Every structure is written in structure tokens, then in C-alpha cells.
Amino acid sequence: MAGNSVHILFVHGVGQHSPLSSLLRAYQSLRSDLRSPEAPIVWEDPIPDWRLADFDDLGPPPFLKLVPRYPGKQLGPDNVYLYEANYSALAGVIRANQPLDITRLFVGFDLAVNVARERLRKEIRKEKRAAAELSKHAEIGMHVQKLADVLVAATVPILGIPSLIFRNYTSSWVAIFTRFFEDIATFAMDKNGEQLISQHVDRTVRNIVDSNRFLRAKPEDPGDTFVIAAHSLGTIVTHNFLLRHWSSGGPVVPRKLLTYGSPIGLVCWVWRFLDFPRLKFNAAADQATGDEYFCWTPEPAPKAPLAPIEWINVINHLDPIASAFPIQDISLAMPAGEIQRSLLNKTLTHHYIKTGIAFSLGSAHTNYFDDRQGFVDILGRLAGLVPDAPPRPASREPSVHWQQMRSDLLLMRWVLWACGLVAIGVYFGWLSSLYGAPVPWLLVGLYVWPPATIAVLAFFQKLIFGGPTKRTRPKTLKQLRWADWWAFPYRLRQIATVGNSESSVAARRANAIAKLSGLFLAFVPTIIAMALPVLWWRFVRRQGAGLGWFVMDHPGKAFVLAGAFMVYTMAFAGSEFARHWRNLLCVLTAERKGDGGQANPGS
């Protein structure tokens, strides 16, 4: 009844992952319902016919071994080994050795998007033919630009002075936020980081297939099955691994690949948009522009035929990272037809799930294991723990998935807008009562429209931090148009020549004074926005206490008011993020309406 062994490697995503966390989370999810607040009972176990036979927590890599309860008499493989590739500590050390400034990271990305948009605009003007396709990319680029703008603005309340004031309450959340983007930058922008993580994964896989647990294929025996299950950034790491090893074949190439919460579509598009003129992927070394944003080396198309892989990609409702990427993104260098031939049944299977409600945006990216009937069942089948008899768990209808995403994002936009209004209402209301006059309310109109709030915050962030970077030279920055609102602050900043030369970019160092003064400068526009009602009141009355008096005499009240203002800016940033994300989805899903609504966000 039984076959050879299955070896399944879990590759985690961004963020801190303590050793064994990915491995044990997968194992526990395969055996119990982790959502339950009670300790599990036997009844929950979906695989009671498998027992844990070994646990090596040292490795490398650490593994769990499951064996059939009735060896030789039940369906499935002889053994199932679960492993993890944990590069979290490694990535943490890389960033501890060279901390990145997240504000500059966002501003730098925003600037790079500006440059790419401008380049594309010129290309569209130059070529009348094929302009339709490029125009579509330009439209997508515009939405990405607006999303980048929100990220730039969001760093004011999340990483700026307000966050320092409330650090006792927000430090862990800020740490998660920072680590999330640091990890992405470590693999996508830092060549050292990319190579170290890649080598770590290569070594982990080699340790698995070279171990005496792994039975290699022979002419008379297909050998053991190697499976990779990757989440989030782990899917990019795995994709990178696959492209480097697929053509050489052998046991390191997984026969089955499960990606979930994968940004492959998003990342491939952004890579082509930022680094390749006309978004045409080109692996030839002489075609490099020299101004690349990503640190990746384009891999040429493999010459040998590739071993077929079964690839299932799972997308959760409201997961902002997950993309239903097109087959082309599997290898940008290969024709789509050839890639298809390298996939089992010539298909890349997208499986849509829904684990949360309309406001599960914050958890949708990490809650895949909550889908016990869908995701966990698929994982069990790929691992050989559950017989893979048809039918497999049904996917949600893609058109319904994207439609509901759009409506939930719309709802989220309005609700967050309302939350922001309540927060600013509290701010104005309390300020008015403290001053005993309703005069501050006359200014409330300036604070009620999220696009204006975010635009002002982003404008000043760009003005303060938006100098040339190592990736965007002063010469490139000068090509941006004055008439483009999104590029305007960068051009304005260039008028002041300090910090705009190539040498000043190279000489820029992160020291505590520079960091603190940067934070303070970035907070000045917010202070002005917060103080405006007070200054207005003084202007109208031509008397009364000012801002300094207020803060010195009522530190507690000032603290609460600052909190209300922080909530206001964050809610508005969330509202704008939902708006632009929804608009982006509308563009992407509209382009494939004739395809049964199976849109490809990120394609």
C-alpha cells in the first residue's frame, strides 16, 4: 500500500520567526485547530492514522518524522518528514549589522517609481505602436505611485515622533512593521542579504536530499518526493531557488510546490517596471541600465527541458501581499508555452480561500492555516498524509473573490475614513472645550478629506528626505517633471543644493543626531497641523494662551490629544491605502473581464 517517503520543507515569510516556529506551526495545524482557545483533543486530529515517530530539533535542518499508524497496511508514503528553512535570525543579523532607515526606504521607493513612470511616459510618447499595452502599465504605475505615497506618509505617525511618545504601547507593532519591510529590502535590494539567504536555503535543501533519510531516484524507483511549502517572502526566496536549480534537475528540484500569500506577481511587475525599459525582461548583461533598483541578477532562459512541477498557489481574501500571478512570472526569460510544459498538467493552479471577515486585512496574510477544509487539506494531500483522491477542496470562484475584495476594500475605506473623522472630532472637540470656544471648529474642513491629509504628509516627507539615493542619481532625479505632483517635492528639494550631489549621497551616514533631527524635521508639518487650531484661535481672539502654555500646563491632555491625532492620521492612511489598492484591483481585474473575471493582480 505504501510508497517512498515525502520530504516537505517549509519556508517562512517576513518577520521574526523563532527556530522551529514554522515547522511546529505547520505540524500543529495539520493535527489540530489552532484557532481554538482550548487545548486540542484527539477528535480534532485530521490525520489520526499517522503518528509522530521522531523529532530532531537540532538538525540541520530540524525535522519531524511521521509514520503510518499501521505500517504497510494503509494508504500513503512510508514516512513523511517535515523540515523548515529558517533564515529569520540570519536576516535579523544582517539588518542589525546595517540598519536601514525605513522612512528613506519608502521615500527611495517612491522616487524610483517616479523615475520609472517618467521613463515609461517618454517611451509611450516615442512609440505610437504598442502604446496601449504600455499605457496600461503606466496606469498601474500611477496606482503603485499612490500606494507608495501612502507608505511615505504613514511613516510619520508610525515611525515618527508620535510613535516615540507612545512607544510603550506601540513598540511591538512598530517592530513588526519595520521588520516586515526590512526583510523585503534584505532579499530584494541588498545583494549580500540575497546571497546569504539563498546560500542558507541551498544548504538546507542539500542537507535534506544528501541525508540517508532521502532515497534518490533510480531507474527502477522514482525515489522520495521533495515538496516545498513557502509563505510570503519565502515564496520569492523559493522562486529564486527554483530558477537557479530547475534546469540542472535532480532531487533538489521539488516535485510539488505550494505557495501561499505569495507576492510573486507584485514583485515581478515592480521589478520589470523599475529595472527594465518598456518592462521588457532582458537577461543579457549588456542590456543592463546600471540604475537598477533591485539587487537581483536576471537569470537567462534554461536550455535543458525542465522537470515538471505541480504548483499550487493559494490566495486568501484581503491578503494585500498575495497575487494570482500569471504563468509568465514563473520565469520571465522563458516563453509562456515552455513554462506551461514544465508544470504538471500544464497548469499553475490558483486556489482562492477566505478565512476572515471584511476587516481581516491585518490577519489575512498570516491566517492560511485557519482554512482547515481547504488549505490544510491541500497541504495534507501534498505531504501524502491525506490520500489525494479527487475531488480536491474546491477553490472560491475567482470572479467572486475579486468582486468581494473590491467591495470589502470600499467598505474598509469608508469605515477607516469614519474612524479618522471621529478621532479628529475628538481632537477638535476637546481642544474647543479646553479653550472654552468653538472657534477651532472653523478649521475642521481642512482635516476631513483623507487624500489631502496624506498628500500633505507625503509632500513634506519627500521634501525633507527626498534627495538622490544610491539607486537614483542626481542626474536621474533631474529628469523628473516639475508639473508632476508626485515628483514635484523632489524637484523642489533640488533647488537647495545641500545633500543633492553624488558625493553627499555616498558620504551619508546614519548617526543618532542625523536620525533624531530627521525625525524632528519630519514631524514639523504634523506639529503645524496639530497647532493650527490653536494658532487660529489666538489669531481670532488676539489673546490667550498658546501652544507652549498648553503643553507645559496640561501635559496629560496634550498626550491624549497627540494620541487622537495619531489615530486620525493612521486611520486616514489606512483609508487611502484601501482606496488605492481597490483602484489598482479595478484596473487589473478589468483587463481580463473576457477571461471569466479571472483577474491577475500583480500580472
Partner 1 sequence: MGEHRFKVLWDREAENLLRRRGNYTLEKIHEEFDRDPTKEAMTVDPNSNLFVTPVANRRYSVVWRMLPDQQVARVSAVVPTRFVQEEVGTLKERVQSIVLLETCGRVTLTP
DSSP 295: -
User: Looking at beta carbons only, is 50 or 311 nearer to partner 1?
Assistant: 50
In degrees and rounded to multiples of 5, residue 55 shows phi and psi of: -140, 110
Q: Are the CB atoms for 232 and 262 separated by under 8 Å?
A: yes
Give burial (CB, 10 Å; 0-12/13-18/19+) of 38: exposed
Only segment of 70-78, 461-469, 491-499, 544-552 that touches partner 1 (CB under 8 A): 70-78
Q: Is 387 in the site for partner 1 (CB under 8 A)?
A: yes
Closest contact distance (angstroms) between CB of 371 and partner 1 is: 15
In angstroms, give the least distance from the CB of 79 to partner 1.
16
What are the φ/ψ torsions at residue 310 (nearest 5 degrees)?
-90, 120
Task: Closer to partner 1 by CB, 41 or 524: give it.
Answer: 41
Q: In the complex with partner 1, which residue's Cβ is closer, 75 or 558?
A: 75
Does position 48 interact with partner 1 (CB under 8 A)? The reply is yes
List the grid coordinates of 159. 515611525
- Smallest gap, in angstroms, from Cβ of residue 256 to partner 1? 21
One of 13, 46, 356, 489 touching partner 1 (CB under 8 A) = 46
384 three-state secondary structure? coil
Compute CA distances 339 → 213, 279, 304, 434, whole Å. 31, 19, 12, 67
**Which residues have CB under 8 Å from 159's CB, separation 6+?**
102, 103, 174, 177, 178, 519
Please tell me whether residue 53 binds partner 1 under the rule CB under 8 A. no
Nearer CB in complex with partner 1: 70/482 = 70
- Sign of the C-alpha dihedral computed for residues 235, 241, 247 and 252 taken in this order: negative
Please answer whether residues 435 and 553 qualify as being in contact, where contact means their C-beta atoms are separated by less than 8 angstroms.
no
Which set of grid coordinates corresponds to residue 370? 485557519
Residue 109 or 375: which CB sits closer to partner 1?
A: 375
Q: Which of 43, 219, 337, 507 binds partner 1 (CB under 8 A)?
A: 43
Report helix, strand or coil for 349.
Answer: strand
- How far, in Å, CA of 243 to CA of 241, rounded? 6
Q: Choose one: 65-73, 229-237, 276-284, 535-543; the region binding partner 1 (CB under 8 A).
A: 65-73
Q: Choose the binding region for partner 1 from 73-81, 137-145, 238-246, 253-261 (rule: CB under 8 A).
A: 73-81
Chosen residue from 389, 483, 506, 507 binding partner 1 by CB under 8 A: 389
With contacts defined by CB under 8 A, how many residues of the chain interact with partner 1? Answer: 16
Helices (H), 127-232: 131-159, 161-165, 167-188, 191-210
Segment near partner 1 (CB under 8 A), from 67-75, 260-268, 344-352, 488-496?
A: 67-75
Rounded to a whole number of angstroms, the minimum distance from the CB of residue 398 to partner 1 is: 26
φ/ψ region of 232 (left if φ > 0, alpha if ψ in -120 to 50, else beta) reads: left
Report strand pairing: 63-68 vs 50-56.
antiparallel
Q: Which is nearer to partner 1, 41 or 400 (CB)?
A: 41
Residue in 69, 216, 341, 346 binding partner 1, rule: CB under 8 A: 69
| 19's grid cell | 527556530
Give the residue with the Cβ less far from partner 1, 137 or 372. 372
**Which residues in the 483-522 window bind partner 1 by CB under 8 A?**
none
For partner 1, the binding residue among 2, 19, 49, 358 (CB under 8 A) is 49
Q: Which CB, 38 or 220, lies closer to partner 1?
A: 38
Taking the complex as a whole, how short is the minimal distance between the CB of residue 382 and partner 1, in angstroms? Answer: 17
Per-position DSSP letters for 45-59, written without gaps between them: -S-TTEEEEEEESSS
CB of 391 to partner 1, least distance (A): 13
Helix axes 167-188, 102-126, angle to 10 degrees: 50
Q: Is 253 within 8 Å of 307 (Cβ atoms)?
A: yes
Q: What is the spatial distance between Cα 350 and Cα 323, in angstroms, rounded to a whole number?
A: 9
Nearer residue to partner 1 within complex by CB, 46 or 157? 46
Q: How far is the CB of 68 from partner 1 (least distance, A)?
A: 8
Q: Give min distance, CB of 260 to partner 1, in A.
A: 22
Strands 6-11 and 225-231: parallel
Instruction: Determine the straight-line distance between the first and last CA of the chain, rounded to whole angstroms.
Output: 43
Q: Residue 284 interacts with partner 1 (CB under 8 A)?
A: no
What character string, x for contact with partner 1 (CB under 8 A) and - otherwise, covers 23-42? ------------------xx
> Among residues 42 and 285, whose Cβ is nearest to partner 1?
42
Find the binder of partner 1 among 2, 34, 47, 344 (CB under 8 A).
Answer: 47
Residue at 150: amino acid letter:
V
Q: Site residues for partner 1, window 219-258 (CB under 8 A)?
A: none
* CB 42, min distance to partner 1, A: 4
Q: Where are the alpha helices (DSSP H) in 277-397?
A: 336-341, 377-383
The smaller minimum CB distance to partner 1, of residues 75 and 437, is found at 75
3-state SS class at 439:
helix
Closest separation in Å from C-beta 37 to partner 1? 16
From the list 408, 379, 407, 411, the residue with the least C-alpha distance to 393 is 379
Q: Is 338 in the site for partner 1 (CB under 8 A)?
A: no
Minimum Å gap between C-beta 43 and partner 1 is: 4
Residues in the chain: 603
CB-based contact 107:462 (threshold 8 Å) = yes
CA distance 330 to 338: 11
Among 53, 54, 73, 249, binds partner 1 (CB under 8 A): 73
Shortest approach of partner 1 to residue 75 CB, angstroms? 7
Binding site for partner 1 (CB under 8 A): 1, 41-43, 45-49, 69-70, 73-75, 387, 389
